[in-house]
């Protein structure tokens, strides 16, 4: 599939079978259920090979770490990736969860894309404390972590973009979602692609939100279409809301 898209790739072979995840839709109520299966065990040699491969690449501008760590892979991988990124002036972008995410922001990253649940975890709060003020949590996280940009993914509500200098709430147009599989990945991909094309951070996150929203318009594991992304993005550019001095919660 990558070859068909004209995307160069380096495949690192490991032992064990590729894992399969399932998404099931209940047609009676539209709810979607995801079954996330454990992957094969990955030993320390894979970490060594991975860092060697990344270090050997020339002219990298971004490293994107997306998804959960496979069983057996140490969270120390983020220390190694952060060193590579700092040494070569590469922007390290991480979209993961749990202890891996906590390790990433202590190692040093350019950007993370947590969900509200993950933000609460990083802030030491319980999920039933979801009525807390999100802007305050994000600003606090930026103060004590080694992270420059936080893009808080808030589903249909959009995303909260925060740096040490500004906070913006970016809201996509309302749509009727068909499937949410791949929406978060599309958000990150849209941001990174936009940054690589020279857009500023705010417009890049808006474009990412457009990509994530456009993905929800497609069934199953289908991803967004360029025409849908561009249409949504053009609508969003007209309403990028500054929220530096406003409280914002989910309630």
To the query of whether residue 185 is one of the catalytic residues in this protein, the response is yes
Alpha-carbon distances of 21 from 14, 34, 38, rounded to whole Å: 18, 7, 9
168's enclosing H/E stretch is strand 167-170
CA distance 101 to 17: 25
**How many residues are recorded in the chain?**
251
Tokens of 54: 């990344």
Sign of CA dihedral 27, 67, 168, 170: negative
| Ramachandran angles phi, psi of 66, nearest 5° | -130, 130
CA distance 195 to 182: 20
CA distance 194 to 72: 34
CA distance 155 to 47: 32
Decide if 113 contacts 184 (C-beta within 8 A): yes
Task: Tell me which of 165, 185, 200, 239 is the catalytic residue.
Answer: 185
Residues 6+ apart with CB under 8 A from 97: 68, 114, 115, 118, 121
Decide if 94 contacts 104 (C-beta within 8 A): yes
**Annotated active-site positions, please?**
185
């Amino acid at each position: 599939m990558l070859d068909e898209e004209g995307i160069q790739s380096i495949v690192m072979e490991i032992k064990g079978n590729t894992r399969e995840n399932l998404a099931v839709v209940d047609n009676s109520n539209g709810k979607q259920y995801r079954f996330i299966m454990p992957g094969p065990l990955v030993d320390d040699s894979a970490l060594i090979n991975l860092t060697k491969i990344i270090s050997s690449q020339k002219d990298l501008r971004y490293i994107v770490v997306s998804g959960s760590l496979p069983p057996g892979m140490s969270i120390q991988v983020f220390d190694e990736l952060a060193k590579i990124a700092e040494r070569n002036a590469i922007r390290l972008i991480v979209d993961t969860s749990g202890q891996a995410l906590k390790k990433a922001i202590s190692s040093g990253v350019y950007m993370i894309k947590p969900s509200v649940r993950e933000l609460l975890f990083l802030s030491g709060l319980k999920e039933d404390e979801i009525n807390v003020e999100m802007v305050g949590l994000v600003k606090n996280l930026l103060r004590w972590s080694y992270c420059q940009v936080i893009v808080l993914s808030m589903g249909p509500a959009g995303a909260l973009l925060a740096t040490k200098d500004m906070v913006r709430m970016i809201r996509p147009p309302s749509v009727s979602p068909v499937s949410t599989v791949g929406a978060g990945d599309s958000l990150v991909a849209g941001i990174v692609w936009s940054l690589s094309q020279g857009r500023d951070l705010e417009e890049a996150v808006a474009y990412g939100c457009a990509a994530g929203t456009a993905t929800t318009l497609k069934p199953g594991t289908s991803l967004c279409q360029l025409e849908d992304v561009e249409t949504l993005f053009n609508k969003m550019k007209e309403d990028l809301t500054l929220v530096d001095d406003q409280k914002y919660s989910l309630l």
